[in-house]
Amino acid sequence: MQDLEFESKKIRIENTRVKFGKFFTKLCFIYFLYSLSAFIIPKNILDISPVCLNFVNFMKSYFPNIEIIGSISPYTQLSEFYVSIMWIYGIIIFAVSSLYSLVYYIYFCRYDDDFILLSKKKCENDCPFLLLPFMFGLGIFMFEVYYTGYFASSGISIRTSHFMPEFQSRFSIFGYIIFFQSGFSLSGSVILMSTFEFIYKIYFYLKGVKDAEQSQ
């Protein structure tokens, strides 16, 4: 009976992972389609729509890169509105992946320890703990460079090379924003998932030490 229950739990968690994988793939595809809106948004979108203007002003109070990018682009209104909506899409990507992490690592961990350990072994190849330091570094880099608008106002230096992003066309606006916004959102998601995995590895290690001491 216990084996049947254990197998049932394995099937449930595997089905959850498969369903989420399909859903997240569709969400990323929709995210890419929305990012193409840079090519169809009117240049004077904020003059046309007071709602969009209020939305952009609201977003500016939380995301400083919006105003910075808009100030250096000849497509000021387009740039500010596009960066604002891409922040919303990026937050949705981060929120969905974060919610999945919480459900996966907390809800399913209400089951027996053997089931948790098996789940941990299966997900090791999906989000290795060794990525955590790298992803933290990438997250800090993305925050300093993209969120603050530093990459737009001061440029980016790589070794001896230095380049200034130009937002002189719709294509350049699309390219720079989707690259940095995607990197910012996905690095945040991976940091969160890696942190959960790290916490559980510590938990199981300490639990194993405690069980070993009690068995002696």
**Would you kindly state where each structural domain of the chain is located, as residue ranges?**
2-215
Q: Is 36 exposed, middle or buried (0-12, 13-18, 19+ CB in 10 A)?
A: exposed
Is 110's pLDDT higher than 60? no
- pLDDT tens, position by position, 126-141: 444 555 677 677 777 7
Helix (H), strand (E) at residue 60: helix 50-60
Given a contact cutoff of 8 angstroms between Cβ atoms, the answer to whether 69 and 83 are in contact is: yes
Mean pLDDT, rounded, for 34-53: 92
CA 87 to chain centre: 11
pLDDT at residue 151 in the model: 76
Under the banding of pLDDT at 50, 70 and 90, the label for residue 117 is low
pTM of the model: 0.76
Two tokens at 190? 């991976």
**Over 60: is that where the pLDDT of 121 sits?**
no
Look at 51 and 179; give whichever has higher pLDDT.
Answer: 51
CA 69 – CA 63 distance, rounded (Å):
11
pLDDT digits (tens, 9 = 90+) for 150-189: 777 776 666 666 667 778 889 989 998 998 888 888 777 7
CA-based nearest residue to 182, from 60, 89, 63: 89
pLDDT computed for residue 10 by the predictor: 65
Express each pLDDT in 190-215 by its tens digit.
777 777 767 766 766 676 666 666 66
Average pLDDT over residues 108-114: 52
